[in-house]
Structure 1
Amino acid sequence: MTKQKTSQGGSLKKFIIALVVLAVIGLGGTLIFYYLRYFDANVTGKEEYLYIHTGEDFNDVYKTIRDKGIVKDTITFAWAARNMKYTNHVKPGKYRLHEGMSNRKFIRMLQLGEQEQVDLSFHVFRTKQQFVGFVSKKLEADSLTLLRYLDSAEFVKQFGLDTDNAFVMVMPDSYKLYWNIAPDKFFKRMYAHYENFWTPERKQQAAAINLTVPQVSILASIVDAEALYDDEMPTIAGLYLNRLRKGMKLESDPSVIFAMNDFTIHRVLNKYLLVNSPYNTYMHTGLPPGPVMLPSVNAVKAVLNYQKNDYLYMVAKEDFSNRHNFAATEAEHKINAAKFHKALDEHNIKK
């Protein structure tokens, strides 16, 4: 009887040990299962960024990840995404990918919307169409949508601008923006930077030369288009302000080129001066209704801090240095212009 009890006790002990071993093995297997699905490296190095567009759902994200080979194992990614409840919390954005990221780290980044900001730096653009084309390559918004906002009288009215001069609120600089920033917020960001530049002191400077804030930028755009070298900008600004005060036409070649919408023109011919456009300053007195290019900050400052001079005329130097000969009288200007036109003829520049 004692032997039978001992034998039964030994069997029970072995059974318990076996259960414990199986439990440990099962637990270990479960831990490995979860580790591989959550913590094992899964993101490949095939793509630098994952772009999730506004309005996309998890199926769209999953398709992009699968089609672009962003993860090695899409099944474990989808499993982890469902278990982490990401499938119903998709956030648009531009997400930087790091080779070897685990599903957990990758999904957590997407879940929290931890996207990388875009560095948007720009300088000179001739037209707002060129500008929105550039921006659309950096941000999610397409160029037509961006242009519609600039051309919307209702939208730009909130900034005290109109569709002719709204472009002046875009100031060349470096900006950090989220890739999926909405178009209206993008322009509000541009305007905030513009407003920050226009301090009370600068507004007083504008008033002192009888120009509104937008008009300063419009004149600056002409100055910028004329001057290749920044050190000439205050001189040119002074010249144009002299003409404005005297009620003379500005007669600016860049304004005619803008009116022609042909920026390949190197020689403004008499026939070009007949183009019927409010931007043709040979035909119309005063400033054009909007900028002829996106003016630089230096050009705006040059207008506000213009050089006080007696110049009324300017023409490019005959040495093609991209500098100018300035004149206070028409007679002197004709001599300078003749030298430049002779140089154009000698180099066979007809257009």
Structure 2
Amino acid sequence: MAAKAGMIIQRVVLNSRPGKNGVPVAENFRLEQSTIPDTVQEGQVRVRTLYLSVDPYMRCRMNEDTGSDYLLPWQLSEVADGGGIGVVEESKHHNFAKGDIVTSFNWPWQTVAILDGSLLQKVVPELVNGRLSYFLGAAGLTGLTALLGIREKGHVTVGANQTMVVSGAAGACGSLAGQIGRLEGCSRVVGIAGTDEKCSILVSEMGFDAAINYKTGNVAQQLRELCPGGVDVYFDNVGGDISDTVISQMNQNSHIILCGQISQYNKDVPYPPPLPPGTEKIQKERNITRERFLVLNYMDKQEASILQLCQWIQEGKLKVRETVVEGLANIGAAFQSMMNGGNIGKQIVLVSK
């Protein structure tokens, strides 16, 4: 039986797994040619991919077992997926028309796709001054994670003279979290990052009061100097030794926003990773909250939160940094670079203009 004709597309599939404790490399992904049907069925939408997001949580999806009940593993030789944004080319779904800009958390890594319209959300480019990629970052899941993390788990109170520390502060989420902490009422915000350039940008562009280069500085000593009143809110993106150091300087009844544990992602440990006994003792004695935070549990607050983020962007109160890599073929290299901490801000792949 002859194969049905279809539209030729490019897609990226999972080529190999790095292993539970392995470091991901570009070669774990493979670009290949494929086809999609020429016709769109009722309820479906054909979209051309504009931008794709690569994010630290995807490291868990490279394992056969993600260690999480809400994340499905990517399958070998199957197309990878994640946050994406694109333009509708043909629609048989009542919510969408040709030319609409749409987004999804489960966008396949391919140039063109036919998707179930119920999985898509329409976006308004004017809300982000036409910067569509922002809907994958500052005005998307990344921004929501920072804002809702701070509001739901940070217990920030205007006028309470609170100090916030952010680890992984130059990353997509951390760079927003520090700024949002200030906008929500923190009086002092200190970031921890891995290069002098990142630290400089956090202070000069993002409005952090100070930033510590953990690779060259004595983190414990600098925290004592920069946070003389102790730490009230800790936005934790990294876990590991840095978090142990921050927690040791946290105040009574303070709060950890458990966003990510990137230092632990290439290790076979449960999430969230248990604290060392000494750190756990401090946490309990000082009544420091450290609860798992999952933004997907707060989707009822998504719409209002996105509008708040967009308003701050339009007003210039939320500064956005992106590292944009061009071409679907380079998404594996972009993922490797992000996991190595080589970027400032959000890592985005431009698939087509």
TM-score between the two structures when normalised by the length of structure 1: 0.24
> Comparing both structures, which one devotes a greater share of its residues to helix?
1
> Comparing both structures, which one devotes a greater share of its residues to strand?
2
Asked which structure has the greater CA Rg, the reply is 1
Specify which structure has the bigger relative contact order, considering alpha-carbon pairs within 8 angstroms and separated by 6 or more residues. 2
